[in-house]
Amino acid sequence: MLAQYADNIPSLRRDIIKNVTAALEEDVGSGDITALLIPAEQTARAHVITREDCTFCGKAWVEETFRQLDPDVKITWHIEDGEQAAANSTLFELEGPARCLLTGERTALNFVQLLSGVATTAREYADLVKGLPIKILDTRKTIPGLRSAQKYAVSCGGCHNHRIGLFDAFLIKENHIAAAGSIKAAVTKAREIAPEKPLEVEVETLTELDEALASGADIIMLDEMDLREVNQHLEGKTVTALLELSGNVDAAKIKRNGSSFLRINRISLGLLTKNCTAIDLSLRIKN
């Protein structure tokens, strides 16, 4: 299931190990002193449930958590990444040394609650444009150290990934344009540096839109522009670049202005990863 959503995130498998290693070091430190209350030889079974409806994400992070703590822990899955979970349903079960289950509980659940929260929000927005030729994309507004994890969760929720970082695509914004001198100068230089990389230009006015179109940009980001004005301005013109809407876009705006999105190919939303709310989960040891 990981491969199904992770094709555009080449560092994901490596990052999962790094994520979990850092999280366990942060939480366990020199040792879980509370877990020492339990005899070392005692085994236990536990189940994890969700307290609310959600789109599940985080399976690989759970598996890596208990692999690092004790590879003998058995995990029985009742759900896969990207699937819907109803409130109070069991997501997975654990069986193994009681100390290990208790030590790994918070780390495993922290990943699942965060990533499922991102996936659930992404599902909401993916459903808003279902049937339309529009992609909802994330941005680089991610939690430091968890970018690939959050972008994976966005994919699980049915949305799409913008560039992963500063290395895989050009995004020429107002400060780049100001420093370079013009949109044309910035685009020309970018084509010299890496002609094979996707090239996107952010514009804020109709004049800049025309400049970006003339420059041959692959994608043009319309930053908080009036779509009715844009549609009227482009009427009768051939537009080869993809048009991306960005800036103060939310579910209400998408519902309210759907008819204005006729020329829009993409909508990028920082809120997918920046404003996510964690899903309420619970782990219970079975007697």
- Residue 180 in contact with residue 186, Cβ under 8 Å? yes
- The CA distance from 163 to 8, in Å, is 9
**What type of residue sits at position 158?**
G
What are 73-92's pLDDT values in tens digits? Answer: 999 999 999 999 999 999 99
Catalytic residue at 202? yes
- Indicate whether 136 and 252 sit together in one domain: yes
Q: How confident is the model at residue 194 (pLDDT cuts 50, 70, 90)?
A: very high
- Indicate whether 92 and 137 sit together in one domain: no
Single out the residue of 120, 124, 157, 84 nearest to residue 252, CA to CA.
124
- Indicate whether 268 and 161 sit together in one domain: yes
Helix-then-strand count for the chain, H and E: 11, 12
Which of 67, 106, 140, 274 is catalytic? The answer is 106
Which of 45, 67, 140, 173 is catalytic? The answer is 173
Mean pLDDT for the chain overall: 94
- The CATH number assigned to the domain holding 73 equals 3.90.1170.20
- Indicate whether 13 and 107 sit together in one domain: yes
pTM over 0.85: yes
What are 31-52's pLDDT values in tens digits? Answer: 999 999 999 999 999 999 999 9
Which of 223, 253, 263, 280 is catalytic? The answer is 223
Taking CA 235 as the corner, what is the angle to CA 239 and CA 206, rounded to the nearest 5 degrees?
75
- Indicate whether 185 and 266 sit together in one domain: yes
Could you list the residue range(s) of the whole structural domain that residue 48 is in? 2-126+276-286
Number of domains observed in the structure of the chain = 2
- Indicate whether 135 and 117 sit together in one domain: no
- Indicate whether 138 and 70 sit together in one domain: no
Which of 32, 81, 105, 202 is catalytic? The answer is 202
- Indicate whether 94 and 162 sit together in one domain: no
Catalytic residue at 173? yes
Catalytic residue at 106? yes
- Indicate whether 59 and 137 sit together in one domain: no
Which of 13, 18, 140, 141 is catalytic? The answer is 141
What are 119-144's pLDDT values in tens digits? Answer: 999 999 999 999 889 999 999 999 99
- The CA distance from 278 to 275, in Å, is 10
Q: What percent of the chain has pLDDT over 70?
A: 97
- Indicate whether 108 and 218 sit together in one domain: no
Q: Which residues contact 60 (CB under 8 A, 6 or more apart)?
A: 2, 13, 16, 81
- Indicate whether 135 and 269 sit together in one domain: yes
- Indicate whether 176 and 205 sit together in one domain: yes
Predicted pLDDT at 3: 62
